[in-house]
Chain A
Amino acid sequence: MPGLTATGTLVLDERSSPWASVDPAVPADPASESPERRRAAWMAAAQAGDRRAYERVLADSVALIRAVARRQGVAHDHLDDVVQETLLTVHRVRHTYDPSRSYDAWLSALAARRAIDGLRRSGRQAHREVGDERAVAMHPDEQDASSESDRAQQARHLRAAIADLPPGQREAVEQLGLRELSLEEASARTGRSTGALKVNLHRALKALRGRIHGGD
């Protein structure tokens, strides 16, 4: 089993580490390795169930995922979504990583795929939004300017109402309502059970209804 030194540095046991079994030339001290080999060693240890190594390799992967997503053309404000999607995918397919091969190439392929999925999703959303604009243009309203400002005001009210929600309820609205994640994905991201998320969403919607309709 990989172990931790007194200083908290991860040291892979050469006898049991899958990485060491593939390439005995790999030094036992990851501090002297290149970052990529260190990530590969951590992932190999994570495959064997080492939580500390797993959390380290995931944290170390964030910058690389962001770089891949940027290269694919993902907008800055969507980079974190791609990072989260990729981390979830890494978790699900971690058994497909072969420690004798490049960890960065493996991760980059997953990140590129998730980035393209994200671009397609936002492309579809943009398409729907264009449709809405055309629909508005086809049905002109005499009070266009004022109704637009009304809408902006309503949006501000809604945002303020969401911000005032208790943290658990706000989280449920953000993850399930605004990001349109599934219960399981939201559960993995927030660390809350799907049951708790459902209850929080229900309460949040009730509170928002009360606040918005009560304020009219």
Chain B
Amino acid sequence: MADPHVHDRLIDALGAQLAPVRRLRPPWLRTLGWLSVVAAIALALLAHYGSAPMLARWAGAPDLGWAGLGAVLTAIAAAWVAFALGVPGRRVAWAWLPLAPALLWIGASGLGCLRGWIAPATHVASAPEAGDCLFFIIGFSVPLSALLVVLLRRACPLRPVLTAMMVGLASAAASASLLEICHAYDAAATDLAMHALAVAVVVGANAALGGRLLAPGVRRAS
């Protein structure tokens, strides 16, 4: 039988160092904080481009609207999961939460490619235009990912790589949602491939770099 008092000295030392702490805010609240920044960017883009072209595209080709909705829901779900995984004791199975909206996003985008007609107020993107989509998604994902990592700095993600992947997915999906505001191209295989490539790059880069950035929170106390 182990001596129950063997750890008393450490407990005394930790008690002596105790100071009041500011509790981590709940994941939904921190998700709202991040989403408010995304919403501010969306408002700025809407002010610049107007909402009429986007609404005309959605009215003419509802699959584009469904794809946009899927991207928005994916961003919300992945951001919440990233914050939830930063709290020890939360179920890792929550990481599946963004799957359903992501399927809607991917499925509606893919179905759009099968249409035999071009959606109103759009044209099929040329290769350089599809390249612009790549830069747009990556360009917006970098600051949005950085913001999420900053918001997670006090958290304790016990699975830093999975958390970083969720950070990447949330940022990429939010960037794709923002792109929808000014995306005057119809769904097409080249454009969809560029979007998929951009999301993969953002998620992969976050997994590689973000995992390391988030890991200090779970390393041994030093």
Contacts and interface: CB of A to CB of B under 8 A. Distances in A.
Binding between chains A and B: yes
Interface of A: 18, 46-49, 51, 54-55, 58-59, 62, 66, 79-80, 83-85, 87-89, 91-98, 101-102, 105-110, 113-114, 117, 182, 184-185, 188-191
15 contacts: A46-B18, A49-B20, A55-B12, A85-B220, A88-B14, A89-B220, A96-B88, A96-B154, A98-B26, A106-B87, A106-B89, A185-B221, A191-B9, A191-B13, A191-B16
B136 to A, nearest CB: 35
A101 B89 contact: yes
Contacts of A46: 18
Nearest to B156: A93
The secondary-structure label for the interface of chain B is loop
A79 to B, nearest CB: 7
Interface in B109-168: 154-156, 158
B217 to A, nearest CB: 7
A66 B2 contact: yes
A54 B23 contact: no
Interface string B154-187: 1110100000000000000000000000000000
Given A94-B21, A96-B24, A188 B87 contact: no
Contacts of A94: 21
B218 interface: yes
B47 interface: no
Contacts of A185: 220-222
Nearest to A111: B88
Given A66-B2, A191-B13, A84 B88 contact: no
A95 B154 contact: yes
A113 B218 contact: yes
B19 interface: yes
Contacts of A113: 88, 158, 218
Contacts of B22: 95
Interface of B: 2, 4, 6-24, 26, 86-90, 154-156, 158, 217-218, 220-222
Nearest to A90: B14
B17 A91 contact: yes
B60 to A, nearest CB: 46
Given A117-B220, A185-B222, A87 B14 contact: yes
Contact of B220 (A47, A48, A55, A88): A88
Nearest to A79: B2
A112 B154 CA distance: 20
B26 to A, nearest CB: 7
Nearest to A106: B89
A101 to B, nearest CB: 7
A182 B158 contact: no
B19 A93 contact: no
Contacts of A83: 7
A80 B24 CA distance: 29
Contact of B87 (A51, A62, A98, A108): A98
Contacts of B221: 85, 88-89, 91-92, 184-185, 188
B23 A84 contact: no
A152 B7 CA distance: 31
B15 to A, nearest CB: 4
B2 to A, nearest CB: 7
B7 A87 contact: yes
Given A80-B2, A85-B220, A188 B10 contact: yes
A62 B19 contact: no
Q: Which 10 A-B pairs have the closest CB atoms?
A: A49-B20, A88-B221, A105-B89, A106-B89, A95-B21, A109-B88, A93-B156, A55-B15, A191-B13, A109-B89
B14 A58 contact: yes
A85 B221 CA distance: 8
A114 B219 CA distance: 9
B93 to A, nearest CB: 13
